[in-house]
Amino acid sequence: MRIEDVYIWDINAKWLGITPFQLMENAGAGVARIIEEKYGKGLKIAVFCGTGNNGGDGFVVARHLSYENSVTVFLVGEETKIRSEEAKLNWNILKNLDFVNIRILKDSSQIKELDLSEFDVIVDALLGAGTKGTPREPIKSAIEKINEHSGKVKIVSIDLPSGYPSEIMVKADFAVTFQWDKEEYEGFERIVVKIGYPKELYHLVGPAHVKFAFRRKGSHKGQNGKLLVIGGSENYYGAPYLAAKAASYLVDLVFLLTPERVSRKINDPDLIIREVKGDNLTARHVDEALKISEKVDAVVIGPGLGISEPTKAFVREFIEKVEKPVVIDADGLKIISEHLEVLADKTFILTPHAGEFSKLFGIKPEGSLEEKARIVMEKAREISGTIILKGEYDIISDGKTWLYNKTGNRGMTTGGTGDILAGTVGAFLALGNSQLRAAAAGTFLVGYAGDLTKEEMGEAFTAMDVARRLPLALKKILEF
């Protein structure tokens, strides 16, 4: 697991109702328990805290250790700069305790005067994993002061040694890190403690997946994603429009390549329409599609395409030749089910429901959530791609791991919501995300937009109602 996963799990835990206060309490209690298990009780302990959440963990550690030890807390910085509500709460608790000594160190001169030789243990809660670069004053002086006592007293860091991996970092005997070891950590001893994350968080898609996927790269048109949607036929025009419209809320530019029969029915200034002659896309349109694909970051193919023989030829040849990541949906899935070999060496996401999955792979995804997930992961591994199995719970896998999404409701069985999902996933892919993250973010966002629609309208709504609420859903998620 990576440091980034910490933030994802924290946000998604909050979505489940596990508060940051609970997690901080469990983290601090875990560190205190480890210290007493290793070094005993009746000790003199100094806890150096910064003003971030790492410092907040330190406040909790100090409180737990104060029951059977003599504890002094050194706050490095101004108490008005303690940032989070949970850290402020635990700081205020400490200030109410008569048997915990508190000293506030606002500048480096106060730190340099300290004599820590009386202490048995120093706890380092200055900086967390989110800090980048070389520590600045007064934290720098606090690290240097702690290091003066390296080898003389026991030094325990919370999560990681403050300053890591810069040259100015705490020389800890060990760090107590939370829930799992981190891929980025090396060169120092670590003890892992659990802090109350449930098993669901290994697999659950939550708002954090959207937050981390919706990253704006620049301020110029086109820098924040360009998507091509390919779809439409003599029989269908709504599907490609829904996919393109959904994507237009998330990326800068959306191109819609569609037959002229379809383009005449669409009048939307948010989309760039590229029409081809005829009622259906055919092999003679492949060059035009490839030319446009060179200008974009990702492609969605399939909504409303139809399954005429000429269109089948178009899909097969385009996918064989395209070099951009592709989301394959609806009729596109039906067409490639007969020719899965065209996916070799491609970057792609498939978006089947259970029936389409059976047609693609010759097996029904049945059983419990975990049994279905095992089947989806196995097939994703076989084809070296990412699959979204749409259902009451969406199951997502890239062949290495699996996720599931719980947002959405029965009202979303209405026609067109699958097209909105394809466009939204394609948009996140165009924003530069991995296939797994794009798939996770897309399913959560569309399902949540559907839930907001249900709150307002009940279970009788259309796919366009869901599409129009994507910006509101995104706003609520980013603010969560």
Across 9-28, average pLDDT: 97
Classified by CATH at the fold level, domain 3-197 comes out as: Rossmann fold (3.40.50)
pLDDT of residue 331: 97
Domain ranges of the chain: 3-197, 207-479
How many CA atoms lie less than 13 Å away from 203 in the CB half-sphere? 19
Q: Which tens digit of pLDDT belongs to each residue from 280-321?
A: 999 999 999 999 999 999 999 999 999 999 999 999 999 999
C-alpha to C-alpha distance for 209 and 205, rounded to whole angstroms: 7
pTM of the model: 0.94
pLDDT class of 223 with cuts at 50, 70, 90:
confident
pLDDT of residue 145: 98
110 with 74: CB under 8 angstroms? Answer: no
Q: Which tens digit of pLDDT belongs to each residue from 147-158?
A: 999 999 999 999
Q: Which two tokens stand for residue 210?
A: 């959207």
pLDDT of residue 455: 98
pLDDT class of 26 with cuts at 50, 70, 90:
very high
C-alpha to C-alpha distance for 66 and 96, rounded to whole angstroms: 13
79 with 42: CB under 8 angstroms? Answer: no
CATH of domain 207-479: 3.40.1190.20
Across 317-339, average pLDDT: 97
- Sheet order of strands, 272-276 included: 272-276, 253-259, 226-230, 298-301, 326-328, 348-350, 386-389, 394-397, 402-405
Beta strands 386-389 and 394-397 are antiparallel
pLDDT of residue 220: 75
Q: What angle do CA 226, 228, 234 make, to 5 degrees?
A: 155
C-alpha to C-alpha distance for 176 and 228, rounded to whole angstroms: 48
